[in-house]
A and B are shown apart, each in its own frame.
Chain A
Amino acid sequence: MSSAPVVLAAVGPISAAGNGREAFVAGLVSGAEFASPVSLFDPGDLPTSRAAEIRNFNLSDYLESAKTYLDRASAFALAASSLALRDGNLEVTPENDTRVGLCFGSMVGCLGTMRTFYDRVLARGVQSANSVLFSHSYVNTPISLVSIEFAIRGYHCTYSSGLTSGLTAMAHAADVLRAGQADVILAGGVDALCQTLFQALSDAGWLATDEGAPGWLLGEGAALAVMELESHVQQRGAKPLAFLTGAGLTTDVKGTGDGQTRAMEAAVREAGVTPADIHVLYLSANGDAEADDLEAAAVSRLFGNALPTQVRLKSRLGETLAAGGPFSVLAAATTLTSGQRALVNSFDPHGGCVSVVVEKGADDS
């Protein structure tokens, strides 16, 4: 298979920093902090009360059609898709609809709806199950709704590989494009906050506490990019925003950081560059002391003393699960300057490792 660079032609972020390309970039460069007391639900007596929530989100700002019921993750996916398609001036038509694809990652899918559905079954029995809630509770519900909303009939896959889900989706989308299975793919990740997730991760001791114990600042959002081969971008008269030039996917089986190193090495190798050619490193670091130390050691092994500029996006956007890696890709694609390259990491505490190289073309805007 060719290792041709894949174009990142447009972006669709729904994030705590802002929604849409301009607001997202403005939020990133503002230096503002996005953590605040949770407003979506009452955290009760949990030791954590803060998260990086998306505030004032209205799906009607992004879609013309009204929806009767949507999980928050599905709403984010629909809004981000709308933004990305508009940002890329990509029109899905009966002529191209089977050549336009979707590759979305989601770690927990529509968890909030899944819980609501099952609580009702627990309380009232199986005959009281609600079919609407059930059909909106799948991990792949958001991507299916996007397919239906925008009549996207081509390649279609949902990835649920923990924190690496979204960046896995983007790396696989690049391979699918190179293999000729699609002309253009909307790829990235989506996950949403809900009380069940917040409580489970708090009870597991994964969240930073109000009293200062280290851990994740939980976040949420959707980060999608329009990905396509350069020939297709030229054919439709669009302009590349940046390029995804390499990817590395590994597993850190023994918890030594070896997988993290190999993922970064593979991505850099596939991009045809060396670590010295990387200008910015978007870390996976999310406040998990052990995982952050493993990543730091792996970074040292790869870069030695010549460390690139390091960005910890999750310290502001929060740990957005499947959207985490893609948010870093979007940030790189929209903020790198001409000729710069970024290495983006997405590592899961259970061993999954994905890294990609994003490059801003020499003449890109």
Chain B
Amino acid sequence: MIRQVAITGLGVVSCLGNEVETFWRALCAGECGLRPLTKFDPTGLRNENAGEVHDFDLSQHLPDNVPLAGLESRDEATQFALAAACDAWTDAGFAQEPPDATCTALAFSTNFGGAESWELYCTELAEGKADPELFLGFGFHDAAQHAAGILNAAGPSVTTSNSCSSGASALGVGFDLIRAGRAEVVIAGGYDGLGVSSLAGLSIMRTISPDTLRPFDKNRSGTVFAEGAGMLVLEELTRAQSRGATIHGLLLGYGLNNNAYHLTAPDKDGAGMVAVLQQALSCAHVSAEEIEYVNAHATGTQYHDVAETQAVKQVLGKHAYEIPMTSIKGATGHGMAAAGAMEAIATLLTMRDGVIPPTLHYETPDPECDLDYVPNQARRQEVTLAVSISAGLGGNNAAVVLKRYDGEGGAA
């Protein structure tokens, strides 16, 4: 019998708020979290705005039995990951009744690890002598290592790094850990912090817009980056059912691939995204016609948004014109490795509440982007089956298929 994967916990740290319901209310209200950068001097970057996390206090997220001591000195990105993981854990009801440690796994992802620690380390090196603890704090598995200790997760610990498809890819790895019987519970998602190094690189590559982030708009000119974390508790379905857990939805399947085209340029015909969508639908055993909503990667770059639109049209055919496809990045910014996980969370909440979050800053239609993007205002619409797409530098693509849980066994 194939093991089904339920989602029983959610956690978000974002520029729209540091708890799930705050994040969701802001998304539905059409609020934008992109504001002038304060954590470092943005002079010289193409855009002085970004999606910074504000009013963050890790101690507010830790379970009662976990002391803050030592954790507050970890890199801020690591702290974002820990906070979102702890919130998801608590949401799943595990703060009171934790699962068996050996059956609990972690599937984290990050593009830049402890970016702030890396920059401090390099700065100290340039001055002559650096604290090696900073280098260790930069490590990509630092967050998972600490989460394992905090949550007593003694099962598999996997950190992936697939550029901006990382968050969705972590969900895929978590899905496999449960499917393969290697874990019963997996805390899965992505995190990243804003840093001078990453923004300098993304700025010089002209990925960053000098304007704001306008997914699918004709005058879109690039993306605006953000920081934070999105974490989900994945749980074997019958286990979740037997303990009476609140099930936010089902993860039916996923796909991961690469364009094999160019390190930085998008594949303009979207062939890689077509293939990853087909891979995800096949894994989920659902047909394209069953998809009722697409949560797009859409970063507001000229080529990507067209390629994604074409890919969805190619896979869904005429059906693509009959369903909404939105990008929340106009509101959240591009959260890098956190993006795919945040977008999966937004998709689950869409299915919970029957509300499609809008595509912000959409003013001028583009003939090449001609689907229903739900511009600027949320829309009430029931959704039971959706796909969330992610993509990233290096040609990475990912897609996850999510289903509303209506109390059934789980098969779509």
Residues of A participating in the B interface, judged by any CB pair closer than 8 Å: 1, 97-98, 101-102, 107, 109, 114-115, 117-119, 121-123, 125-127, 129-131, 133-141, 143-145, 147-148, 150-162, 168, 172, 175-176, 178-179, 181, 196, 199-201, 203-205, 249-253, 258-259, 262, 348, 350-352
When the two chains form their complex, are residues B393 and A135 in contact, meaning their CB atoms are under 8 A apart? yes
Q: Which residue of B lies closest to A262 (CB)?
A: B102
Once the chains bind, are B157 and A352 in contact (CB under 8 Å)? yes
B residues near A, CB below 8 A? 2-3, 43-45, 101-102, 105-106, 110-111, 113, 118-119, 121-123, 125-126, 130, 132-133, 135-136, 139-142, 144-145, 148-149, 152-163, 169, 172-173, 176-177, 179-182, 196-197, 199-205, 255-264, 271-272, 275, 279, 283, 393-396
Q: Do residues A158 and B205 form an inter-chain contact, with CB atoms below 8 A? A: no
Using Cβ atoms and an 8 Å threshold, which residues of chain B touch A107?
139-140
Contacts of B125 in A (CB 8 A): 196, 199
A178 touches B101 (CB 8 A): no
Residues of A within 8 A of B257 (CB): 98, 101, 153-156
A174: nearest chain-B partner, CB-CB: B180
Q: Which of B101, B158, B162, B260 meets A153, CB within 8 Å?
A: B260
Contact B395 A148 (CB under 8 A): yes
Given A109-B161, A249-B158, do A176 and B176 touch, yes or no (CB 8 Å)?
Answer: yes
For the complex, what is the distance from the CA of A91 to the CA of B199, rounded to whole Å?
39
A-B contact list, 20 entries, CB within 8 Å: A122-B126, A126-B199, A131-B201, A134-B202, A136-B263, A148-B263, A148-B395, A153-B257, A153-B272, A155-B256, A156-B257, A160-B140, A160-B161, A162-B140, A181-B283, A249-B105, A350-B141, A351-B148, A351-B157, A352-B141
Supposing A144-B258, A147-B395, A204-B135 touch, asked if A250 and B155 sit within 8 A by C-beta, the answer is yes
A237 vs B219: C-alpha distance in the bound complex, in angstroms?
53
B141 partner residues in chain A, CB cutoff 8 A: 160-162, 348, 350, 352
Contact yes or no, A161 B203, CB < 8 A = no
Q: Is B152 within 8 A of A147, CB to CB?
A: no
Contacts of B272 in A (CB 8 A): 153
Q: How far is the CA of A158 from the CA of B181 in the complex (A)?
A: 22
The smallest beta-carbon distance between B223 and chain A, in angstroms, is 15
Q: Is the CB of A140 within 8 A of B260?
A: no
A158 to B257 alpha-carbon distance, docked (Å) = 11
Shortest Cβ gap from A205 to chain B (Å): 8
Majority secondary structure, B binding face: mixed
CB neighbours of A158 from chain B (8 A): 160-162
Distance of A349 from chain B, by nearest CB (Å): 10
B residues in contact with A102, CB < 8 Å? 258
Contacts A1-B180, A157-B169, A351-B148: A118 and B197 contacting too (C-beta < 8 A)?
A: yes
Once A181-B279, A253-B148 are accepted as A-B contacts, the answer to whether A144 and B394 lie under 8 Å apart by CB is yes
Chain A's closest residue to B131 (CB) is A203
Q: Are B122 and A126 in contact (CB under 8 A)?
A: no
- What is the bound-complex CA distance between A267 and B322, given in angstroms? 48
| Contact assessment for A204 and B258 in the assembled complex, using a CB-CB cutoff below 8 Å | no
The answer to whether B258 and A147 touch across the interface, beta carbons within 8 angstroms, is yes
Is there contact, CB below 8 Å, between B256 and A156?
Answer: yes
Report yes or no: A122 in contact with B263, Cβ–Cβ below 8 A.
no
Determine whether the beta carbon of B139 is less than 8 Å from that of A162.
Answer: yes
Q: Once bound together, how far apart are the Cα atoms of A279 and B104, in whole Å?
A: 31
- By the criterion CB–CB under 8 Å, are B161 and A253 in contact? no
**Across-interface contacts of A161 in B (CB, < 8 A):** 140-141, 144, 157-159
Q: Which 10 A-B pairs have the closest CB atoms?
A: A134-B201, A144-B394, A249-B156, A204-B132, A160-B140, A200-B135, A126-B200, A126-B44, A203-B132, A147-B258
Q: Are A98 and B395 in contact (CB under 8 A)?
A: no
Contact check, A126 vs B123: say whether CB atoms are below 8 A apart. Answer: no
- The answer to whether B201 and A148 touch across the interface, beta carbons within 8 angstroms, is no
Q: Which residues of B contact A205 (CB under 8 A)?
A: 132
Q: Which B residue's beta carbon lies closest to that of A155? A: B256
B45 touches A126 (CB 8 A): yes
State whether A253 and B258 are in contact (beta carbons under 8 Å apart), knowing that A119-B122, A125-B44, A138-B161 are contacts in the complex: no
Q: Is the CB of B275 within 8 A of A98?
A: yes
Question: Given B101, B145, B179, which contacts A350 in the complex, CB threshold below 8 Å?
Answer: B145
Bound state CA distance, A202 and B259, in angstroms?
Answer: 39
List B contacts of A160 (CB < 8 A): 110, 113, 140-141, 159-161
Structural contact, A159 and B201, CB atoms closer than 8 A: no
Contact B203 A129 (CB under 8 A): yes
Q: Give Cα distance in the complex from A117 to B235, angstroms.
A: 41
Shortest C-beta distance, B176 to chain A (Å), equals 5
What A residues does B113 contact at CB under 8 A? 160
A144 in complex: contacting residue of B43, B263, B279, CB < 8 Å: B263
CB-based contact B396/A156 at 8 Å: yes
Identify the closest chain A residue to B204 (Cβ): A129
**Distance from B297 Cβ to chain A, minimum over Cβ atoms (Å):** 16
**A-chain residues with CB within 8 Å of residue B142 when the two chains form the complex:** 350
**Which residues of B lie under 8 Å from residue A201 when comparing CB positions?**
132
B154 CB contacts on chain A under 8 angstroms: 250-253, 258-259, 262
Contacts of A352 in B (CB 8 A): 141, 145, 157
Our pick among A121, A157, A351 for the contact of B197 (Cβ within 8 Å) is A121
The distance from the CB of A49 to the nearest CB of chain B, in whole angstroms, is 18
Besides A131-B204, A147-B259, A160-B160, 6 more A-B contacts (Cβ < 8 Å) are A1-B2, A141-B263, A144-B395, A154-B257, A175-B180, A204-B133
Chain A residues in 8 Å Cβ range of B162: 140, 156-158
Smallest CB separation, B269 vs chain A (Å): 13
Chain A residue with minimal CB distance to B274?
A98
- Distance to closest chain A CB from B41 (angstroms): 9
The interface residues of chain B lying within 8 Å CB-to-CB of A135 are 201, 205, 263-264, 393
CB within 8 Å for A250 and B159 given contacts A118-B197, A121-B200, A122-B122: no
Which of B2, B122, B156, B163 has a CB less than 8 Å from the CB of A115? B122
